[in-house]
Structure 1
Amino acid sequence: MKDRAETRTLAGDAYAVIHRAIRSGLLKPGQRLRFAELQALCGMSVSPVREALVRLTAEGFTVSDDHRGFSVAPLSVAELLDIVATRKLLEGEALRLSIENGDSEWEGRLLAAHHMMSRLPRERDDLPTAIREDWDLRHADFHRILISACGSPILIELCEKLFVRADRYRRLSVSVPKQDRDVVREHERIMSCAIDRNAEEAVAALKDHYQRTADAVQRLFEMQEAL
């Protein structure tokens, strides 16, 4: 039992390392994943690395081929639009319910999360086309708290999975040149409408926020195809 528990712990650590490498772009979309290289990256034996890949495949971050093994899941406009459309449906409803059910404590946590996020720039100073990790953590907290009062643990779990699934596309959106958007104002609008208990406007602002990210990434794909 102890050996199995240790393997699960190592598999969790391997998952975190590989997932982070995929999110950061160190492991690129479509890249074939070789066990020897992943073992070196994680500093582990093959068993926990394999378990981590099985989990990543179940979550859509890697794909498995009987003949070629594992590779990083590709990015596509089709998947992007599917994720965004589903997020609009689920998170829109979760936000509506949170505005309906949320108390003053929820309001306070939302205001605090927005304040903490707004005090940091989104882009890295040394690499303006990349997201700062500390901002990214606060950004995730903001969106998590936004829907936390919906009253449905299952709905929250589904929204969390979609948030994680959208992460690679969100990171790509920062690198799109000449964007006509103000992400700070977008978050502020969502927060203000939620605090004012204006569910219709808050949900519309949230959906617009997600659509703007999708539009930016889709434009990037089109630019790459034109090269």
Structure 2
Amino acid sequence: MAKRTDSETMSKHIRDTLRTDILDGRWEPGARLQLTHLSEHYDTSSTVIREALTRLVGDKLVTLRPNKGFFVPELSLAELTDIVEMRCVNEQLALSLGFERAPLEWESELMAAHHTLERTPRRSDEDPDNHTPEWNHAHQKFHDKLVEACGVPLLTEMTRTLSDLIQLYGRWAGPATRDAKRDLDKEHRDILNAALDRNAELAGQLLRAHYETTLSAVKNGGEVGLACLPHVKLLR
């Protein structure tokens, strides 16, 4: 039983590391993920790598092409519009269910997640064009906490998958996204206050505006960052 637990722990660790590296842009969209290279890089067996990649296929962060192997997904800004709409609809449903079901301690946990988000540096001097991994993590935790009280695992898993895909697009949209005229801190504070008031309609509207502003920034940034990648189809 211990060996099985160790094996499961290793598999999850490799899967989580691969997920983080894909979202951080270690490989370009459309790049092939070679088992031999990855097993050497992560110092593990090709069996563990294959299992991790197969799980990430289910999360839509890896594409499996028959007889060709595993690849980082190719990006299409036209598809991104649909992804954002799906996320808005799913999270609005999750909020309406969650605000009715959430216990009081959920509010404290949400405020703590927001506090961490506000106190985490968004950019660094070393890489000023992209959000820091720490901020991305805190941002995801805040949005996860918003919807988790719905108590529907399939719904929360779907919102997390959509969130990952949007983060992947944002990573490759380039430096133009940092010039978007918005106050992210205020957007998150407004969403927090609506959630604490259990106002599902307002919180849903604010989340939609939050995501659609990001969508516009990624589209605009695509002209700078995504256009240089041969795999990306720009939305016109």
Relative to structure 1, is the Cα distance of residues 153 and 59 closer, same or farther in structure 2, using a 3 angstrom cutoff? closer
Asked if the contact 2:60–2:161 (Cα under 8 Å) also holds between the matched residues in 1, the reply is no
Relative to structure 1, is the Cα distance of residues 174 and 197 closer, same or farther in structure 2, using a 3 angstrom cutoff? farther
Asked if the contact 2:173–2:224 (Cα under 8 Å) also holds between the matched residues in 1, the reply is no
Give CA-to-partner distance per residue, 1:9-54, whole Å, 9 cap, x none: 4433332232222111111111122222111211112211111221
- Give 1:187 shift: 0.6
Q: What's the % identity of the aligned pairs?
A: 36
Structure 1: how far apart are the matches of 2:172 and 2:183?
16
Which region of structure 1 is more displaced relative to structure 2, 60-69 or 19-28? 60-69
* Pairs within 5 Å for 1:192-203: 192-203=193-204
Give CA-to-partner distance per residue, 1:158-190, whole Å, 9 cap, x none: 222322333212434673242111111111111
- Give 1:213 shift: 0.9
In structure 2, give the amino acid aligned to 1:62: V
- Whether 1:82 and 2:73 are equivalent positions in the alignment is no
Partner of 1:208: 209
Tell me the secondary structure at the aligned position of residue 79 of structure 1: helix
Asked if the contact 2:94–2:155 (Cα under 8 Å) also holds between the matched residues in 1, the reply is yes
Asked if the contact 2:174–2:225 (Cα under 8 Å) also holds between the matched residues in 1, the reply is no
Asked if the contact 1:18–1:42 (Cα under 8 Å) also holds between the matched residues in 2, the reply is no
Partner of 2:140: 140
In structure 1, give the amino acid aligned to 2:214: T
Asked if the contact 2:172–2:226 (Cα under 8 Å) also holds between the matched residues in 1, the reply is no
Asked if the contact 1:31–1:72 (Cα under 8 Å) also holds between the matched residues in 2, the reply is yes
In structure 1, give the amino acid aligned to 2:206: A
In structure 1, give the amino acid aligned to 2:180: Q
* Pairs within 5 Å for 1:1-227: 7-172=7-172, 175=175, 176-224=177-225
Give CA-to-partner distance per residue, 1:182-203, whole Å, 9 cap, x none: 1111111111112223322111
Tell me the secondary structure at the aligned position of residue 147 of structure 1: helix
Relative to structure 1, is the Cα distance of residues 141 and 226 closer, same or farther in structure 2, using a 3 angstrom cutoff? closer
In structure 2, give the amino acid aligned to 1:137: H
Relative to structure 1, is the Cα distance of residues 88 and 15 closer, same or farther in structure 2, using a 3 angstrom cutoff? same
Between Structure 1 and Structure 2, how many residues are aligned? Answer: 227
Structure 2: how far apart are the matches of 1:98 and 1:24?
31
Structure 2: how far apart are the matches of 1:74 and 1:86?
19
**Higher relative contact order at CA 8 Å, sep ≥6: structure 1 or structure 2?**
2
Q: What are structure 1's unaligned runs of at least 5 residues?
A: none
Relative to structure 1, is the Cα distance of residues 225 and 71 closer, same or farther in structure 2, using a 3 angstrom cutoff? closer
Relative to structure 1, is the Cα distance of residues 55 and 151 closer, same or farther in structure 2, using a 3 angstrom cutoff? closer
Structure 2: how far apart are the matches of 1:101 and 1:165?
28
- Give 1:102 shift: 2.8
Asked if the contact 1:32–1:71 (Cα under 8 Å) also holds between the matched residues in 2, the reply is yes
Give CA-to-partner distance per residue, 1:121-166, whole Å, 9 cap, x none: 2112321112222222221221121122223333223222322333
In structure 2, give the amino acid aligned to 1:11: S
Q: What are structure 2's unaligned runs of at least 5 residues?
A: 229-236
- Give 1:216 shift: 0.9
Asked if the contact 2:23–2:164 (Cα under 8 Å) also holds between the matched residues in 1, the reply is no
Tell me the secondary structure at the aligned position of residue 124 of structure 1: coil
Structure 1: how far apart are the matches of 2:218 and 2:98?
29
